[in-house]
Amino acid sequence: MPVSDLELVNAWKQVLTLSNLKCGDNVTVLTSSNTHPQTLATAMIAAGMLGAVVNRLDLPPVNAEKAHSRDSLAYLGTTPLTGNRSAIAALKESDLVLDLMTLLFSPEQHEILASGTKILLAVEPPEVLVRLVPTATDRDRVTKAAALIEAAKEMRVVSEAGTDLRCALGHFPAISEYGFVDAPGRWDHWPSGFVLTWPNEGGSEGTIVLDRGDILLPQKTYVTDPVKLTIKNGYCVAIEGGVDAALLRDYMESFHDPEAYAMSHIGWGLQPRSRWSTLALYDREQTIGMDARAYEGNFLCSLGPNNEAGGSRTTACHIDIPIRNCTVKLDGRDVVRQGKVLDQENFQGERHAQ
């Protein structure tokens, strides 16, 4: 359904209030040619209504000769900020940047965040933003799950489809994505609602089996035939299966980068308002697939960079894989059981009962 400007302004006001926007704060709205005009207009209105000093910084797109599609996550190389010192300076002087362009996995984003500027990414269609407007409850649930990861030394993931993956933890922090930025230097993505970390370098071993209905991103497709990924010493060393496996191999091979096959972030979805089925309702160029990443109970694993968590590995190729019906264990304790989330209270209750 179309979204009224009033609905989207109110959604923005809720997100900006949760992000502790104050009267007199400087807000820069970062845009490019693919920015949704309604999202832009309502963001500027909402920030202005809350008393912010609002600016817009519009930058031309890049990477057209290398990208595989219009999806902003299909090529994570240079950004419109690469070498653009004046634009970076303007963003570092802002209290809050509303990223309606997509700066994810860029060194420029890290530099801006290090200055204390907050960055909120929002590039999904307006109706997705309104349906998945974040709440304080989302934050509480995600941060409790992050605390479980922080205390763990190993994540093991198994499924009836054949997944059996072990990942050593501890070298990288747990990341809470709940949809707003309520602390200086924080980045988040509206919509979201999931927890993640990165396995220790070289510390992942086992097998990931994608069953029918699991999702590949940025391809934004549901798997139609099983795909088997073999993980050794932190890298995917084999991709086996039918057409889906062949398509994934061909896409990844086109980057000519062995780091594309490294294990990237791992975690699980915690957003009950996100749906596994939503991706089937959209044209591929309408969405980047945040419903798929955030729906409650999915095991979200990925291949590619780890620089978002402070690691040194960068690559233009990034694959996100939300998988259904997995059991996720932290140090032997279930936190997700066959696709059903066990919240921290349940997790602790099970521990005390044994």
Q: Which amino acid is at 325?
A: N
* pLDDT tens by residue, 185-211: 999 999 999 999 999 999 999 999 999
Domain boundaries, the chain: 5-131, 136-353
Show the DSSP H helices in the chain as ranges. Answer: 5-18, 37-49, 85-92, 107-114, 126-131, 136-150, 243-253, 290-294, 344-353
**Four-residue CA torsion sign, 69, 62, 260, 207:** negative
Is CATH 3.40.50.2300 the right assignment for the domain spanning 5-131?
Answer: yes
For residues 127, 129, 130 and 131, what is the CA-based torsion angle, rounded to 10 degrees?
80
Q: Strands 263-269 and 194-197: what pairing?
A: antiparallel
* pLDDT tens by residue, 117-153: 999 999 999 999 999 999 999 999 999 999 999 999 9
Give the pLDDT of residue 107.
Answer: 84
Tokens standing for residue 103: 């700066």
Give the pLDDT of residue 327.
Answer: 98
Give the pLDDT of residue 354.
Answer: 38
Tokens standing for residue 169: 């933890």
Give the pLDDT of residue 347.
Answer: 45
Which residues of the chain are modeled with pLDDT < 70? 63-67, 70-77, 344-354
